[in-house]
Amino acid sequence: MKPHPSRLRLNAREAPGATLERLLEAAEHHQALEQRVLTAIPAELASGCRFVAYRDGDLTLSAPNSVHASQLRLRQRDVVNELRQDPDFRHLWRLKVRVVPQGKPPAGLSPAPPISTENARLLMEEAGHTKDEDLRQVLERLARHARD
């Protein structure tokens, strides 16, 4: 069995090509383990899930959102039992699921839609009747958002 990628130690005295070769082997090993893990996960949950690590009987997966993570946790007994049939995972005893959102974060607040000219007129009228200076400035600023 190949050394686990997490236990891969780089030696500065190695030939430059040997270090790269070892890194590539570790990446291929990780990818092969990920494929085996994803086949054990129900198909509807496997999309978006990634294999993160397997160390000391702990299998760590990442899920794209909390719903996927909760569903994986609910089905972890089935997943663990199926993976234990694989010789590389025979000592698996715990499944950890971490939420790692994918893609870009949602954009900030969208600009407020413009208000009607009638509402702008009412806001300016109300601003003229108020005695609070801060409130008056806010109402006038809102009134300037009117549609043309």
Phi-psi sector, 48: left (phi>0), alpha (psi -120 to 50), beta: left
In a domain, 107, yes or no: no
Number of domains in the chain: 2
The answer to whether the CB of 74 falls within 8 A of the CB of 44 is no
Q: 97: pLDDT confidence band, cut at 50, 70 and 90?
A: very high
Q: Are residues 94 and 134 in the same domain?
A: no
Q: What pLDDT digit, counting tens, does each position of 18-75 carry?
A: 888 889 999 999 999 999 999 999 988 888 899 999 999 999 999 999 999 999 999 9
Residue 142 predicted with pLDDT over 80: yes
Q: Do both 12 and 45 map to the same domain?
A: yes
* 137 and 65 housed in the same domain: no
User: What sign for the dihedral angle of Cα 52, 56, 58, 59?
Assistant: positive
Residues 16 and 57 in one domain: yes
Mean pLDDT of 77-100: 92
Are the C-beta atoms of residues 79 and 38 closer than 8 Å to each other?
no
Whether the model pTM is above 0.75: no
Q: Evaluate whether residue 137 is within a structural domain.
A: yes
pLDDT at residue 106 greater than cutoff 60: yes
CATH number for the domain that contains residue 32? 3.30.300
Q: Residues 85, 118: one domain?
A: no
Pair (11, 67) in one structural domain? yes
Domain check: are 94 and 23 in the same one? Answer: yes
- Residue 92's closest CA among 64, 66, 53? 53
Residue 132: domain span: 113-148
Q: Are residues 60 and 14 in the same domain?
A: yes
If asked whether residues 51 and 90 sit together in one domain, one would say: yes
Residue 148: its pLDDT value, please? 56
Q: Does residue 105 belong to any structural domain of this protein? A: no
Same-domain status, 17 and 79: yes
Please say if the pLDDT value at position 1 is more than 60: no
Q: Are residues 29 and 88 in the same domain?
A: yes
Residue whose C-alpha is closest to residue 37's, from 27, 52, 22: 52
DSSP the chain: -PPPGGG----TTS-HHHHHHHHHHHHHHHHHHHHHHHHHS-HHHHTT-EEEEEETTEEEEEESSHHHHHHHHHTHHHHHHHHTTSGGGTT--EEEEEE---SPPPP-PPPPPPBPHHHHHHHHHHHHH---HHHHHHHHHHHTTB--
Amino acid at 17: G
Residues 84 and 31 in one domain: yes
